[in-house]
Structure 1
Amino acid sequence: MTYINQLEALCRQSGCTMETEVSLAGYTTFRVGGPCRVLVHVNSGRTVQMLVQFLRREGIRFAVLGRGSNVIVPDEGFDGVVLLFGSAFGQVIRQENRLICQAGASLRAVCSAALEAELTGLEFAYGIPGTVGGGLYMNAGAYGGELSDVVVSAEYLDREGNLLQMDAEQMELSYRHSCFMHNGGIITGVTFQLQPGDPEQIRTEMEQTLEKRKAKQPLEYPSAGSTFKRPQGDYASRLIEVCGLKGLSVGGAEVSRKHSGFIINKGGATCADILALADRVQQTVREQTGFQLELEPVVLK
């Protein structure tokens, strides 16, 4: 029995679905990338634990993918198993002033749940196109707020396959960073501590946040959001703009004319186009300003 047959049996056992030879372009916001060998739509932390233990035991390559909003998939795809943390793994439960979220819950859905529960604290995250798991992994933030402001704990799978809890104080949360980036942990759930608020004020702040995004960001094109991390002492978008790089393109990839911090897929871009353009931007900015820009999206390997 091949590992795919075994994986299929495990998926049937846990009630989740799997597909083979699936293009990952449709599962990322950049809309680029080749196929993976197997795509599994996970449905619980226990399912993740069972699948990861099997994959590691068998020595099979695997990766975790949420909404794909901070990922660039190579043109040749991923020769392994992708565990998709999506809507089947997106339950959000209110417990007094806390929201307990499965890792596949979209940040937009969590923000909507907070509004419905009349809880404030997540307004800044409305419109961030990711999941709570991916968001905590990189400590996502916008407009003066970060998930580190409201997270209290996370459920995660460690390298040994144990399902554990971690308090926020242990997560090493800082600008676009958490300990999960280097400890091999896979986030399966996140708990947020919020505060009672006025629903109309919460709604207004969320709508204003979304309008800011629409006005300033090239949301009409596929992208992975901000392409480069903010360097200490300046802003990536300002450095790119002063270097005259707005509108620079390679193939179907372009430095957005609307917001120079974004590389966008103008149509038909490949992963190779995006990475070549990012490299040219980094080189030019380094030569002209001395700043070294660091790529924010992760390249799936």
Structure 2
Amino acid sequence: MDNIETKIMQELKGIIVKPNEPLCKYTNTRTGGPADFAVFPTSIEEARKTVLLTKENGLDLTVIGNASNLIVKDGGISGVVMILTKMDSVRIDGDKVVAMAGAALIDATQAAYEAGLTGFEFASGIPGSVGGAIFMNAGAYDGEIKDIAESVTVLTRSGEIRTYKNAELDFGYRHSRLQDEDDIVLEATFLLKHGDKEKIHARMEELSFLRASKQPLEYPSCGSVFKRPVGHYTGKLVHDANLQGFTIGGAQVSKKHAGFIVNVGNATATDYQNVIKHVQDVVFEKFGVRLETEVRIIGKD
């Protein structure tokens, strides 16, 4: 590891590299073990350089953004973890918002509002990054990323830069082709419409109020844990199974919103995983419905 560390530090000179970095500092659950190397590129070229270095040296490469819908296991992640949050520029181009992958989705929606562009309001309170939102086809309040994404620029694991149009991205419920091909989002262009700024602002305020009143924003969490099963609502299933308040260690099924698991005090990723499994088992036993996770769970046990 010492030889690899020296090589990484030399070849990525000028890029922020943190060996043995605790990932709990970057996840919304405040859990997760260390990365062998956490790398923070600030540009497309720095990201490409990092990808090529890992490929040349046979290192594992994991890419994360705001880690808002992610659980990193307590054993951490081997190899290089490329964290894109410093690739965060957002600009307006006519009726389009062009945002780099590490930009907060909330910042992109704010830029749209300030430019008088409508169509992005549904995402105004989603805590993830632009890259994560594309990857997962994030959605809320009857809107989804697929409705406004015009094109996405990605970096392949072999270092090639490509641009996909909306129709090529195979968007589905919490799905995009990026999950199948493992490409890395670099930048996204969102096509919006000019609208009334007061109405845009009013809708964003309305959705912010709804989120704050229904979701447990006062605690660290990984957002919505489970996908919505066909014909059912996750929150109702968990509520009807009398699981709200169920706790293992510091991880608890939220008493405020049954679809969330919150960190009520020094939770570990293992606590989260155990709560998730218990909820899945009980809901299946009571209702015959198998809950699938929406949250991504990665890393070593």
Aligned match of 1:102: 100
Task: Map 1:155-174 onto structure 2 (within 5 A).
Answer: 155-174=153-172
Q: Deviations over 1:144-203 (max 9, x none)?
A: 101111001000012332101000101110110001001121111110001101111111
- Give the letter aligned to residue 199 of structure 2: Q
User: Deviations along 1:211-267, whole A, 9 cap, x unmatched?
Assistant: 110000000011011110101111111111111111111111111110000011111
In the TM superposition, residue 4 of structure 1 has moved relative to its aligned partner by: 2.1
Deviating 4+ runs (over 4 angstroms)? none
Number of the residue aligned with 1:71:
70
Q: Equivalent residue for 1:236? A: 234
| 3-state SS, counterpart of residue 224 of structure 2 | coil
* Structure 2 counterpart of 1:7: 8
Cα deviation per residue 1:115-158 (whole Å; 9 max; x = unaligned)? 11111111010111111000100000111101111001000012
Aligned residue number for residue 91 of structure 2: 93
3-state SS in 1 of match to 2:171: coil
* AA aligned opposite 2:40: H
Distance in 1 (alpha carbons) for counterparts of 2:298 and 2:218: 24
- In structure 1, the partner of 2:121 is 123
* Aligned amino acid, residue 269 of structure 2: C
Match of residue 25 from structure 2: 26
Structure 2, unaligned runs of 5 or more:
none
Partner of 1:219: 217
TM-score with structure 1 length normalisation?
A: 0.96
Equivalent residue in structure 2 for 1:272, among 270, 273, 282: 270
What letter is aligned with 2:12?
C
> Where does residue 43 of structure 2 map in the other structure?
44
Please say which of residues 226-235 and 73-82 is displaced more in the overlay. 73-82
TM-score normalised by length of structure 2: 0.96
Distance 1:198 1:190 in 2: 24
Aligned mates of 1:9, 1:98 — CA distance in 2: 39
**Does 2:282 correspond to 1:284?**
yes
SS at 2:19 equivalent? strand
- Measured on the aligned residues, the alpha-carbon RMSD in Å equals 1.1
The answer to whether the 8 A contact 2:51-2:157 is kept is: no
CA distance in 1, matches of 2:298, 2:215: 24
How far did 1:51 drift?
Answer: 1.1
> Conserved in 1, the CA contact under 8 Å of 2:106 and 2:126?
yes
Question: Which residue identity lines up with residue 39 of structure 1 in the other structure?
Answer: A
Report the CA distance between 1:299 and its aligned residue: 1.2
Separation in structure 2 between the aligned mates of residue 179 and residue 141 of structure 1, nearest angstrom: 16
Number of aligned pairs?
A: 298
Aligned to 1:199: 197
Shift of 1:79: 2.2
The whole-number CA distance in structure 2 between the counterparts of 1:18 and 1:36 is: 11
| Partner residue, 1:187 | 185
The one-letter amino acid paired with 2:288 is G
- State whether residues 26 and 66 of structure 2, in contact with CA within 8 Å, keep that contact through their aligned partners in structure 1: yes
Give the whole-Å Cα distance in 2 for the aligned partners of 1:181 and 1:60: 20
Percent identity among equivalent residues?
A: 39
The partner residue of 1:210 within 204, 208, 219 is: 208
C-alpha offsets along residues 34-70 of structure 1, whole Å, 9 cap, x if unaligned? 1111111111122211211110121111211101101
